[in-house]
C-alpha cells in the first residue's frame, strides 16, 4: 500500500486502486500518523489534529482509529503505543519520506558536481507533490511543524533543482519560475541569488542589479538587516563583471581567412617585442583583415590581452580622434555629473590606459595620420602596458614604430580565395585553374579586387570573366607592379563592378556613401530613396556588407561611390536627407532618454553616433544653421548622458558665430529676435530653446568661456521665454544644464530662480529637476527638513519616470544629508540604491564616486568594508579614466592609513590625491578640501604648525570658491561634520 500526504491525504492499494478513507477526521488522523511513520504520536496531538476545537474525547478518538484500521485493512497496522498510536508501514511507502530521501540524494549529487544526476533525482522528488503538504491540516497546531518542515524542504529542493539546471545551461529558461518564486518568498536570499545569476546570464547586469536592489530593500524593510555575505559577494561579482562597457571587439568575419596564416604569427611575434606595429600597403591589399586576425589571436588563450578595435574611416578629421578612442573603449568623456572638469579626452584616455594591458587596433589611419601619430606617441609614452597595431597606407613616422608591409596574396592563395568566394555565390563552382590564375594576376592578387570579381561568377563563367577583365584593365601578364599601379588596378575593378550595376543599384550605392559607420535598412531605404531588394542586390554583388542588422560599405568602394555622388550632383540633396533622417531619430529618442526606456535608446543612438556627427558637420559646413541648431538640441540629452558634449563644442561655436554675423539670435515667437537684432534673422524664429542648448554645448568645450560670457544674457532671456507662464519647452534637459553651468558663477541666483520656478510644471522631468534644484535653497538656509523633503520629492519624480540618472542624483544627495546628520545606515542604503542605477547606465565614474561616498559612511562602524569600497572605487576610476574619481578614492585610502596609524603612507596618498583633484572643478572641491585638511592634521601631529595652518587655509579657500557657507552645504561635498565646522570657521574669519 502507498500513502500520500504531499497534498490531500490519500492511500492506494498496490494495484493503484485508491483506498476509501472516509471523512476528513480519518484523513487528518492518518496524515498525523504518517508524518513520522513507525513513531508514536500522542493521543492529545491526534485529537487536536482531528478536532482543533478540543471537543474530541478519548473514546471518540479510539473510535476513529478503529474505523481507520478497518479502511486500511491488512495493508497497514495501527498500533497503540503508550499514551498514543503509531502506524507501522515502510518509509518508502510514504511519499513524504521518499521525497526527503530523493531530495537529499539530489543535493549530494549537486555538491559533488554531478548536475545531471541531481536534476534527475530532484525532478523525481518534486514530482511527488500534488499540493500543499498536509493539505487541510496546515492550520492545526499539531500538524503545522511538520507542514512547515516539508514546505521548507520542498523550497530547498526547488532551489537545488534550478541551480543544477542552470549549471547545465538553463539559466534563461529559469527566469520566469524564479521570478514567481521570489515574488512569493521575497526574503529568501538563495532564491534571490539564483534569480540574479539567471538574469545576468540572460541579459547582462542591469536587470540582475535591479533584482539585488529589490531584495536588499525587502530585507531592510521587513527584517531590518543587510543582505548576507554570500549575496553581497554576488553583488560585488556583478559590479566586477560589469566594470564598464567592454572595449569594441574586432568585427566578426563572415568568410574564411585565406593565405596569410604565417603573417598572423609573424606580426603577433613582432608585437611581443615592439609596442607599435603599423601594417602598410595600398587600399584593398588586406590590411584590415590581417589586423583583425592578429587581434583575435592576441585576445585568446592564457594571459591574453584585452583588445580594442577602433575604426577610423568614419572620421572626417582628426579633431574627433580622442573621442573615437574613448567610445571604442566604452568610456565617457565626462561623468554624468555636470561641470567643467578641465580634463581633456586625452587626459581621460591616459588615466584609463595607464595601468591596463591592452592591444589597441587603429584601422584606416591614413587620412588622420598626423593626429594619430601624435596621440599614439603620447599614449605609448604614458601607458607602459599598452600596445598599438595600426593599419595605414603610409607609416605613422614616430620613434619605435615597426613596419610590416602587407603584400598581395601569393598565386596559390589568390586562386584559393577566388575559388572560395566564387563557390559561395555559385555552389559547385569549378574552373580551369589556369583561367582562375589569369584572373587573379590581372587583379594584381589584391584580395578586395578578387572578392569583387568573384561575386560576378554568379552571372558569368570564368572564361568570360577573364576576357572582360583583360579588356577592361589591359593587364595580360605584365608581371609585378608597384603599389601605385596596384591601387589603380583596384580602382579600375571597383569602376568595372560599378558599371555592371543597374541604374537603381548605382543610385542607391552612391547615395549610401553619406552614411558614417553604416546604416539600418530603414535609414538606408529612406536616405537612398531605394528598396530592400536593391540593397540585397548590392550585398550579393559585394558592394555592401550586411552584419549585425546594419549595412556597411568598405572604405575603398565608398571613396569611389562618393566621387560618383559628386558627379551626379546629388551630394547636397542626399546630405540634407541624411541630416533630416537623423534629426528625426534624435527627436524620437529624446523623450525616451528621460524615461525607463533609456537603456534601450542609449545604445541605439550610440550605434548611430557617427551618423549624428556627420549630419551635424554637414549642417555646419553648408551652412544650414536651423538644422544644426535642431540637431544639437535634439541630441543634447544623449550627448550629456554619454559624457561627450564637449566633442560638439566646435560645431556649436561655429553655429553661434554664423548667427552672430546677422546681429541677432533666435527667440521663441515668430519673427522675434533677441540681442539687438533687427528681425532680419527670421530663419531662426521659434528656435530660442535650441539656441540655449547650442550655447550650453559650446560652453562645454575648452574654448567655451568667452562664448559663454558673450551669449549668457541672451540665452537666459530665451530660456525664460521658453519656460514662462503656461509655456512648456521642448527640451527640459536645458533647465538642468543651465543651472549646473551657472552653479560656478558669482551670481547664480537668477538661474536658480528660473529653474526652481518649474516646481509645478506639467512636464514631469522638468518638474523633478526643478524640485531637485529647489532643495538647495532651504539647505543653504539651514532648513534641512524642508531640503530633505524637496530632494525626496525630486527622487520620487525621477523614479516614477524610470529615469535612472535623475533618481541616482537625488538619492546621492539624500544620502549625503543622511550621513551629515549621523544616520549612516540610511546613507548606505540610499547609496546602494543609487549605485544599482548608475551601474545600469554603465556610468563608471559615477559608480566610483558613489562607492567613495558609501565608504565615507562606513568608516566609523565597518572600516574593512570602507577600505574595500575605496579600493573598488579606485579600480573603477582608473578604468573610467577619471583622475578626479581616483583622487577621491585615494583620499579615502589616505584617511584609512591615518586611522591605521601610518601617517607616512597617508601623506603619500594625500599628495597623490591632491595632484589629481582639479582645483577648479566643483566636483573635486570636497576631495581637495578633505585632502588638505588631512595633510594639515599630519603636519599638526608632527609639530609643524605653520604647515598645518597653510593647509587649513587652503582648504577654507577651496570651500569658499564654491559659495558653500554652511555646514549642511559643505557636507554635501562629502565633508564630515567636524571638517565642515572647521572650514566654516576658517571662512568666516577671512
pLDDT by residue (tens digit) across 574-621?
999 999 999 999 999 999 999 989 888 988 998 999 999 999 999 999
Integer Cα distance of 646 and 652 in angstroms: 10
- In 3-state terms the chain splits into helix, strand, coil percentages (rounded to 5) of 65, 5, 30
The dihedrals phi and psi of 359, each to the nearest 5 degrees, come to -100, 115
Q: Please report where in the chains the cell 523633503 appears, as a residue.
A: 789
Distances (CA, A) of 876 to 177, 230, 272, 308, 402: 34, 22, 28, 18, 33
Which among 862, 820, 857 is positioned nearest to 835, based on CA atoms?
857
Integer Cα distance of 918 and 927 in angstroms: 9
Which among 311, 307, 316, 233 is positioned nearest to 268, based on CA atoms?
307
- pLDDT average, residue stretch 919-928: 69
* 665: helix, strand or coil: strand
Distances (CA, A) of 489 to 389, 441, 450, 466, 475: 27, 11, 11, 15, 9
The dihedrals phi and psi of 426, each to the nearest 5 degrees, come to -135, 90
Within 10 Å of residue 452's Cβ, how many Cβ atoms? 25
Integer Cα distance of 292 and 309 in angstroms: 8
Alpha carbon 180 to chain centroid, angstroms: 27
Within 10 Å of residue 405's Cβ, how many Cβ atoms? 12
Please say whether the beta carbons of 689 and 722 come within 8 A: yes
* 796 contact partners, CB below 8 Å, separation of at least 6: none
For residue 238, the model assigns a pLDDT of: 66
pLDDT at 434 over 80: yes
- Residues for the chain: how many in total? 990
pLDDT at 42 over 90: no
pLDDT at 340 over 50: no
Condensed to tens digits (0 to 9), the pLDDT of residues 202-218 reads: 665 656 777 787 888 78
Look at the alpha carbons of 646, 648, 651, 652 in this order and tell me if their dihedral is positive or negative. negative
Q: Which three cell numbers stand for residue 476?
A: 595580360
* pLDDT-derived band at 966, boundaries 50, 70, 90: low
- Please give the share of the chain, as a percent, with pLDDT higher than 90: 31
* Mean pLDDT estimate for the chain: 83
For residue 471, the model assigns a pLDDT of: 58
For residue 483, the model assigns a pLDDT of: 43
DSSP single-letter state for residue 169? T
- On the 0-12 / 13-18 / 19+ scale of CB atoms within 10 A, 947 is middle
Q: Which three cell numbers stand for residue 432?
A: 580551369
Q: Among 244-253, 396-405, 911-920, whose mean pLDDT is lowest?
A: 244-253
Distances (CA, A) of 911 to 304, 633, 914: 35, 41, 5
For residue 666, the model assigns a pLDDT of: 65
| H-type alpha helices, 36-94 | 43-50, 58-72
Which among 379-388, 682-691, 874-883, 957-966 has the top mean pLDDT? 379-388
Q: Which residue has the higher pLDDT, 528 or 306?
A: 528
- Radius of gyration from C-alpha coordinates of the chain: 36
For residue 170, the model assigns a pLDDT of: 64
Query: What do you get for the CA distance between the two ends of the chain, in Å?
Result: 94
Integer Cα distance of 90 and 3 in angstroms: 10
- pLDDT average, residue stretch 557-585: 93
* pLDDT-derived band at 852, boundaries 50, 70, 90: very high
Look at the alpha carbons of 632, 634, 637, 639 in this order and tell me if their dihedral is positive or negative. negative
pLDDT at 53 over 70: no
3-state SS, 504-553, equals HHHHHHHHHCCCCCCECHHHHHHHHCCCHHHHHHHHHCCCCEEECCEEEC
Q: Which three cell numbers stand for residue 149?
A: 518542515
* 772 contact partners, CB below 8 Å, separation of at least 6: 790, 791, 794, 798, 806, 809, 810, 813
Alpha carbon 949 to chain centroid, angstroms: 45
| H-type alpha helices, 259-311 | 261-273, 287-298
DSSP result, 399-456: TTEEEEEPPPPPHHHHHHHHHHHHHHHSTT----HHHHHHHHHHTTT-HHHHHHHHGG
Condensed to tens digits (0 to 9), the pLDDT of residues 760-801 reads: 899 999 999 999 999 988 987 889 999 999 999 999 999 999
Taking CB atoms within 8 Å and a gap of at least 24, the contacts of 680-687 are: 683/625, 683/626, 684/625, 684/626, 684/629, 684/659, 687/626, 687/629, 687/630
Integer Cα distance of 931 and 788 in angstroms: 28
* pLDDT-derived band at 960, boundaries 50, 70, 90: low
Integer Cα distance of 42 and 64 in angstroms: 15
DSSP single-letter state for residue 226? P
Q: What is the dihedral of CA 95, 99, 102, 104, to 10 degrees?
A: -140
DSSP single-letter state for residue 257? -
- pLDDT average, residue stretch 960-969: 58
For residue 253, the model assigns a pLDDT of: 65
* pLDDT-derived band at 695, boundaries 50, 70, 90: very high
Amino acid at each position: 500500500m502507498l500513502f500520500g500526504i504531499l497534498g490531500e491525504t490519500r492511500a492506494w492499494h498496490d494495484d493503484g486502486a485508491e483506498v476509501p478513507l472516509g471523512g476528513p477526521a480519518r484523513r487528518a488522523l492518518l496524515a498525523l500518523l504518517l508524518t513520522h511513520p513507525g513513531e508514536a504520536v500522542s493521543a492529545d496531538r491526534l485529537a487536536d489534529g482531528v478536532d482543533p476545537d478540543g471537543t474530541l474525547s478519548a473514546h471518540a478518538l479510539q473510535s476513529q482509529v478503529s474505523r481507520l484500521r478497518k479502511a486500511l485493512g491488512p495493508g497497514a497496522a495501527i498500533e497503540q503505543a503508550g499514551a498514543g498510536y503509531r502506524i507501522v508501514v515502510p518509509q518508502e511507502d510514504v511519499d513524504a519520506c521518499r521525497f526527503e530521501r530523493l531530495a537529499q540524494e539530489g543535493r549530494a549529487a549537486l555538491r559533488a558536481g554531478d548536475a545531471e544526476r541531481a536534476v534527475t533525482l530532484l525532478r523525481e522528488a518534486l514530482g511527488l507533490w500534488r499540493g500543499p503538504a498536509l493539505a487541510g491540516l496546515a492550520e492545526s497546531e499539531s500538524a503545522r511543524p511538520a507542514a512547515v518542515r516539508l514546505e521548507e524542504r520542498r523550497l530547498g529542493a526547488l532551489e537545488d533543482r534550478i541551480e543544477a539546471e542552470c549549471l547545465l545551461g538553463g539559466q534563461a529558461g529559469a527566469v520566469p519560475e524564479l521570478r514567481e518564486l521570489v515574488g512569493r518568498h521575497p526574503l529568501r536570499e538563495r532564491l534571490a541569488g539564483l534569480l540574479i545569476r539567471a538574469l545576468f546570464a540572460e541579459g547582462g547586469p542591469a536587470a540582475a542589479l535591479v533584482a539585488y536592489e529589490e531584495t536588499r530593500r525587502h530585507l531592510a524593510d521587513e527584517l531590518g538587516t543587510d543582505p548576507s555575505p554570500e549575496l553581497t559577494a554576488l553583488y560585488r561579482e556583478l559590479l566586477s563583471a560589469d566594470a564598464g562597457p567592454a572595449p569594441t571587439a574586432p568585427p566578426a568575419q563572415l568568410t574564411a581567412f585565406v593565405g596569410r596564416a604565417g603573417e598572423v604569427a609573424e606580426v603577433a611575434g613582432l608585437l611581443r617585442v615592439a609596442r607599435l606595429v603599423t601594417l602598410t600597403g595600398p587600399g584593398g591589399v588586406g590590411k584590415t583583415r590581417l589586423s583583425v586576425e592578429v587581434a583575435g589571436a592576441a585576445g585568446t588563450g592564457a594571459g591574453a590581452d584585452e583588445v580594442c578595435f577602433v575604426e577610423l574611416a568614419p572620421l572626417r578629421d582628426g579633431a574627433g580622434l580622442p573621442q573615437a578612442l574613448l567610445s571604442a573603449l566604452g568610456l565617457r568623456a565626462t561623468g554624468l555629473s555636470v561641470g567643467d572638469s578641465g580634463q581633456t579626452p586625452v587626459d581621460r584616455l591616459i588615466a584609463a590606459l595607464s595601468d591596463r594591458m591592452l592591444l589597441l587596433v587603429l584601422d584606416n589611419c591614413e587620412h588622420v595620420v598626423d593626429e594619430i601619430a601624435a596621440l599614439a606617441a603620447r599614449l605609448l609614452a604614458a601607458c607602459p602596458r599598452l600596445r598599438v597595431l595600426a593599419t595605414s597606407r603610409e607609416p605613422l613616422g614616430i620613434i619605435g614604430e615597426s613596419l610590416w608591409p602587407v603584400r598581395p596574396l601569393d598565386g596559390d592563395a589568390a586562386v584559393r580565395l577566388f575559388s572560395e568566394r566564387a563557390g559561395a555565390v555559385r555552389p559547385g563552382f569549378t574552373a580551369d585553374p589556369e583561367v582562375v590564375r589569369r584572373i587573379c594576376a590581372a587583379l594584381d592578387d589584391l584580395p578586395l579586387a578578387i572578392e569583387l570579381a568573384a561575386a560576378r561568377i554568379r552571372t558569368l563563367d570564368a572564361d568570360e570573366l577573364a576576357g572582360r577583365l583583360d579588356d577592361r584593365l589591359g593587364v595580360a601578364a605584365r608581371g609585378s607592379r608597384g603599389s601605385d599601379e596596384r591601387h589603380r588596378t583596384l580602382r579600375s575593378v571597383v569602376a568595372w563592378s560599378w558599371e555592371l550595376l543597374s541604374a537603381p543599384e548605382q543610385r542607391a550605392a552612391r547615395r549610401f556613401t553619406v552614411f558614417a559607420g553604416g546604416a539600418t535598412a530603414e535609414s538606408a531605404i529612406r536616405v537612398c530613396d531605394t528598396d530592400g531588394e536593391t540593397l540585397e542586390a548590392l550585398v550579393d554583388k559585394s558592394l555592401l556588407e550586411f552584419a549585425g542588422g546594419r549595412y556597411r560599405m568598405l572604405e575603398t568602394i565608398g571613396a569611389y561611390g562618393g566621387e560618383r555622388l559628386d558627379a551626379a550632383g546629388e551630394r547636397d540633396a542626399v546630405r540634407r536627407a541624411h541630416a533630416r533622417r537623423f534629426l528625426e531619430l534624435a527627436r524620437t529618442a529624446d523623450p525616451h532618454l528621460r524615461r525607463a526606456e533609456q537603456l534601450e535608446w542609449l545604445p541605439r543612438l550610440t550605434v548611430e553616433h557617427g551618423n549624428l556627427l556627420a549630419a551635424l558637420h554637414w549642417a555646419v559646413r553648408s551652412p544650414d544653421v536651423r538644422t544644426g541648431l535642431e540637431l544639437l538640441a535634439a541630441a543634447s540629452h544623449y550627448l550629456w548622458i554619454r559624457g561627450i558634449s564637449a566633442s560638439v563644442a566646435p560645431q556649436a561655436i561655429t553655429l553661434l558665430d554664423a548667427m552672430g554675423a546677422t546681429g541677432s539670435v533666435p527667440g521663441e515667437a515668430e519673427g522675434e529676435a533677441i540681442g539687438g537684432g533687427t528681425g532680419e534673422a527670421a530663419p531662426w524664429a521659434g528656435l530660442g530653446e535650441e539656441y540655449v542648448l547650442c550655447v550650453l554645448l559650446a560652453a562645454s568645450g575648452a574654448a567655451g568661456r568667452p562664448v559663454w560670457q558673450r551669449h549668457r544674457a541672451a540665452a537666459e532671456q530665451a530660456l525664460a521665454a521658453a519656460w514662462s507662464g503656461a509655456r512648456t519647452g521642448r527640451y527640459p534637459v536645458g533647465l538642468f544644464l543651465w543651472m549646473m553651468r551657472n552653479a560656478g558663477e558669482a551670481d547664480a541666483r537668477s538661474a536658480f530662480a528660473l529653474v526652481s520656478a518649474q516646481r509645478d510644471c506639467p512636464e514631469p522631468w522638468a518638474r523633478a529637476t526643478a524640485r531637485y534644484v529647489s532643495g538647495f535653497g532651504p539647505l543653504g538656509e539651514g532648513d534641512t527638513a524642508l531640503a530633505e523633503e524637496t530632494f525626496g520629492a525630486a527622487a520620487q519624480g525621477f523614479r516614477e519616470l524610470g529615469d535612472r540618472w535623475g533618481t541616482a542624483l537625488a538619492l546621492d544627495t539624500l544620502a549625503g544629508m543622511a550621513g551629515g546628520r549621523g544616520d549612516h545606515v540610511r546613507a548606505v542604503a540610499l547609496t546602494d540604491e543609487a549605485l544599482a542605477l548608475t551601474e545600469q547606465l554603465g556610468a563608471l565614474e559615477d559608480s566610483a564616486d558613489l562607492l567613495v561616498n558609501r565608504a565615507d559612511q562606513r568608516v566609523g562602524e565597518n572600516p574593512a568594508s570602507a577600505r574595500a569600497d575605496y579600493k573598488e572605487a579606485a579600480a573603477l576610476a582608473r578604468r573610467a579614466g577619471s583622475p578626479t574619481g581616483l583622487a577621491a578614492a585615494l583620499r579615502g585610502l589616505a584617511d584609512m592609513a591615518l586611522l591605521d596609524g601610518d601617517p607616512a603612507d597617508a601623506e603619500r596618498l594625500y599628495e597623490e590625491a591632491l595632484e589629481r583633484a582639479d582645483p577648479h572643478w566643483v566636483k573635486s572641491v570636497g576631495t581637495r578640501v578633505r585632502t588638505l585638511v588631512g595633510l594639515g592634521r599630519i603636519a599638526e601631529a608632527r609639530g609643524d604648525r605653520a604647515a598645518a595652518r597653510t593647509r587649513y587655509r587652503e582648504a577654507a579657500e577651496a570651500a569658499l570658491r564654491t559659495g558653500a557657507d554652511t555646514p549642511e552645504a559643505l557636507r554635501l561635498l562629502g565633508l564630515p561634520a567636524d571638517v565642515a565646522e572647521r572650514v566654516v570657521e576658517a571662512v568666516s574669519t577671512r
